[in-house]
């Protein structure tokens, strides 16, 4: 008993004496909120742009030493990502801290020419970085995206973070983060994909109200497609919607249509969506059945049609099914025939159902994949709000 008590007090004294060792005050940290990766064309160095938050100013305070600006955007340059980061320490009075980073932005030219190997390697080895950090490709320089303050948020990195949090109502770009990127890169016969963003003038400057669209905003703009480490092409937002059926659940999406047989526009919202991919292997041939089922709402009817309720819904259901069919077919044509990369992970789905057959085919999968038949079946059930049982019609002809 005496030995136990001595041991207890000894361990307790160690804990108490070391409780403050290694402690880092928040005022000693430069908290990175977003990072952009570009390439210096003159010397081929990495340019790393970091968006650093100053807690006192972000919170609205103005403590001693703060400038009043909530962000400090700086860049470092080096032959590697780590050297670029360390070079920031030459002039930063605080230690760069990555745990709060929300997004990594890669310039499209870097993604096409240099690839993702160094980026994946560094950010997976960094024990401060969260694996759920968003990672995107930018058409413009990554430094411009990272340094642009947009919309409702003080911190631009937070704006991009919220785009992904609410993108399930849009369904035009994948939710790409470091974890999904790493899994697709390291997986057998799989290839990475990343969401794309771009700057577009949409905002209204309160000081120049006559110039509508004078403020740049960051918006999602489709999907970047990679052949292992290098970007080989992109999908448009419409093609990306066809792509998303295969890789993640679609919560909601808007399908704009023309009125049946009349001028005017219609909006249909996909709400309750289900997708199933069924691999098949018949007489040595690989194929897939892609089954889409959706319950949709008629949310806008901009034409005073004379069609009856049931007839109108039947026609619109066929139009929605045809539109979804076109989007998926365009996406498959581009991925299979133009880019020839299995970002849809069809091989992994086939392996799950036919593991023995996969062992025979996997070495030749890159040659088999472009010719694999994907049969698309789409069923849409369209509902109409009960308050508008019939289309809105003029009182006079």
Q: Is residue 150 situated within a structural domain?
A: yes
Neighbouring CB atoms inside 10 A of 162's CB total 14
pLDDT score, position 164: 82
User: How is residue 45 written in tokens?
Assistant: 């160095």
With CA atoms as reference, report the closest residue to 216 among 203, 234, 229, 232: 203
Orientation of helix 309-333 relative to helix 237-247, angle to 10°: 90
pLDDT score, position 204: 61
Contacts 24+ apart (CB under 8 A), 41-46: 45/77, 45/78, 45/79, 45/84, 46/77, 46/78, 46/79, 46/80, 46/81, 46/83, 46/84
pLDDT score, position 208: 55
Choose the final residue of a domain: 235, 259, 286: 235
Q: Are residues 201 and 295 in the same domain?
A: no
Q: Which parts of the chain fold into alpha helices (H)?
A: 2-17, 55-58, 81-88, 108-113, 117-125, 142-147, 156-165, 178-186, 237-247, 309-333, 346-353, 355-361, 365-368
Q: Are residues 200 and 341 in the same domain?
A: no
Owner of token pair 């069919």: 325
pLDDT score, position 62: 45
pLDDT score, position 64: 41
Q: Is residue 202 situated within a structural domain?
A: yes
Q: Are residues 220 and 303 in the same domain?
A: no
With CA atoms as reference, report the closest residue to 258 among 301, 296, 304: 301
CA distance 142 to 145: 5
User: How is residue 338 written in tokens?
Assistant: 């133009």
pLDDT score, position 308: 76
DSSP 3-state of 305: coil
CA distance 354 to 151: 49
DSSP 3-state of 299: strand
DSSP 3-state of 39: strand
Owner of token pair 């949310």: 299
Distance of CA 266 to CAs 259, 270, 311, 377, 391, Å? 6, 13, 15, 23, 11
Q: Are residues 252 and 267 in the same domain?
A: yes
Give me the CATH number covering residue 368. Answer: 3.30.300.210
pLDDT by residue (tens digit) across 287-332? 999 999 999 998 888 877 777 777 888 899 999 999 999 999 999 9
| Number of structural domains in the chain | 2
Q: Are residues 385 and 250 in the same domain?
A: yes
Domain that holds residue 314: 237-397
User: How is residue 383 written in tokens?
Assistant: 């509902």
pLDDT score, position 296: 93
Distance of CA 384 to CAs 299, 381, 389, Å? 8, 10, 7
Choose the final residue of a domain: 202, 219, 235: 235
Q: Are residues 63 and 207 in the same domain?
A: yes
pLDDT tier, 285 (very low <50, low <70, confident <90, very high otherwise) = very high
Q: Is residue 4 situated within a structural domain?
A: no
Choose the final residue of a domain: 171, 202, 235: 235
Q: Is residue 304 situated within a structural domain?
A: yes
Report the pLDDT averaged over residues 6-20: 47
pLDDT by residue (tens digit) across 322-353? 999 999 999 999 999 999 999 999 999 999 99
Of all residues in the chain, what percent carry a pLDDT higher than 70?
Answer: 80
pLDDT score, position 268: 92
Q: Is residue 390 situated within a structural domain?
A: yes
Asked if 225 contacts 219 with a C-beta cutoff of 8 angstroms, the reply is no
Distance of CA 313 to CAs 310, 380, 390, Å? 5, 10, 10
Q: Are residues 287 and 373 in the same domain?
A: yes
Orientation of helix 117-125 relative to helix 81-88, angle to 10°: 60
Q: Are residues 90 and 64 in the same domain?
A: yes
With CA atoms as reference, report the closest residue to 300 among 323, 258, 268: 268
Q: Is residue 20 situated within a structural domain?
A: no
Is the pLDDT confidence value at 212 over 70?
A: no
Task: For the sheet with 265-282, list strands across it.
Answer: 253-258, 265-282, 285-301, 373-383
Is the pLDDT confidence value at 392 over 80?
A: no
Characterize 369-383 residue by residue with b for buried, 16 or more Cβ atoms within 10 angstroms of its Cβ, and e for exposed.
beebebebebebebe
Q: Are residues 114 and 102 in the same domain?
A: yes
Is the pLDDT confidence value at 178 over 80?
A: yes
pLDDT by residue (tens digit) across 68-114? 567 788 888 999 888 888 888 777 777 777 888 889 999 999 999 98
Q: Which comes out higher in pLDDT, residue 170 or 12? A: 170
Is the pLDDT confidence value at 1 over 60?
A: no
Of all residues in the chain, what percent carry a pLDDT higher than 90?
Answer: 42
Distance of CA 58 to the CA centre of its chain: 26
Q: Is residue 14 situated within a structural domain?
A: no
Is the pLDDT confidence value at 157 over 50?
A: yes
Asked if 278 contacts 288 with a C-beta cutoff of 8 angstroms, the reply is yes
Q: Are strands 193-204 and 134-138 parallel, antiparallel or unpaired?
A: parallel
Q: Is residue 207 situated within a structural domain?
A: yes
pLDDT tier, 15 (very low <50, low <70, confident <90, very high otherwise) = very low
Q: Are residues 252 and 393 in the same domain?
A: yes
Mean pLDDT lowest among 21-35, 155-169, 170-184? 21-35
Q: Are residues 223 and 306 in the same domain?
A: no
Q: Are residues 209 and 269 in the same domain?
A: no
Is the pLDDT confidence value at 8 over 60?
A: no
Mean of the per-residue pLDDT values of the chain:
82
pLDDT tier, 216 (very low <50, low <70, confident <90, very high otherwise) = confident
Neighbouring CB atoms inside 10 A of 152's CB total 7
Distance of CA 257 to CAs 48, 265, 280, 287, Å? 44, 6, 34, 31
């Amino acid at each position: 008993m005496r030995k136990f008590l001595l041991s207890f007090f000894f361990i307790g004294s160690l804990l108490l004496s070391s409780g403050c060792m290694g402690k880092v005050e928040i005022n000693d940290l430069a908290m990175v909120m977003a990072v952009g990766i570009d390439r210096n064309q003159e010397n081929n160095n990495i340019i790393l742009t970091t968006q650093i938050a100053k807690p006192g100013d972000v919170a609205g305070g103005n403590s001693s030493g703060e400038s009043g600006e909530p962000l400090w955007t700086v860049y470092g340059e080096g032959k590697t990502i780590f050297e670029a980061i360390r070079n920031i320490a030459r002039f930063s009075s605080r230690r760069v801290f990555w745990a709060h980073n929300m997004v990594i932005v890669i310039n499209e030219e870097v993604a096409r020419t240099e690839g993702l190997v160094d980026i994946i390697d560094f950010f997976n080895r960094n024990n401060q970085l969260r694996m759920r950090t968003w990672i995107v490709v930018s058409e413009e320089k990554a430094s411009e995206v990272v340094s642009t303050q947009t919309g409702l948020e003080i911190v631009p990195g937070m704006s991009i973070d919220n785009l992904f949090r609410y993108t399930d109502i849009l369904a035009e770009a994948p939710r790409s983060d470091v974890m999904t990127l790493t899994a697709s890169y390291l997986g057998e016969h799989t290839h990475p994909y990343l969401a794309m963003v771009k700057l577009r003038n949409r905002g209204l400057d309160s000081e120049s109200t006559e110039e509508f669209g004078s403020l740049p905003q960051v918006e999602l703009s489709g999907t970047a497609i990679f052949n292992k480490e290098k970007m080989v092409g992109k999908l448009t937002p419409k093609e990306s919607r066809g792509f998303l059926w295969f890789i993640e659940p679609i919560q909601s999406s808007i399908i704009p249509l023309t009125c049946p047989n009349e001028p005017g526009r219609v909006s249909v919202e996909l709400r309750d969506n289900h997708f199933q991919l069924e691999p098949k292997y018949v007489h040595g041939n690989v194929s897939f059945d892609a089954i889409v089922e959706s319950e949709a709402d008629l949310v806008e009817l901009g034409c005073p049609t004379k069609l009856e309720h049931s007839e109108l819904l039947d026609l619109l259901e066929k139009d929605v099914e045809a539109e979804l069919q076109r989007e998926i077919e365009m996406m498959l044509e581009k991925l299979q025939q133009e880019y020839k990369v299995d970002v849809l992970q069809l091989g992994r789905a086939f392996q799950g159902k036919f593991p023995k057959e996969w062992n025979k085919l996997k070495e030749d999968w890159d040659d088999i994949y472009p010719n694999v038949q994907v049969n698309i079946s789409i069923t849409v059930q369209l509902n109409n709000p009960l308050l508008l049982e019939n289309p809105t019609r003029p009182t006079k002809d």
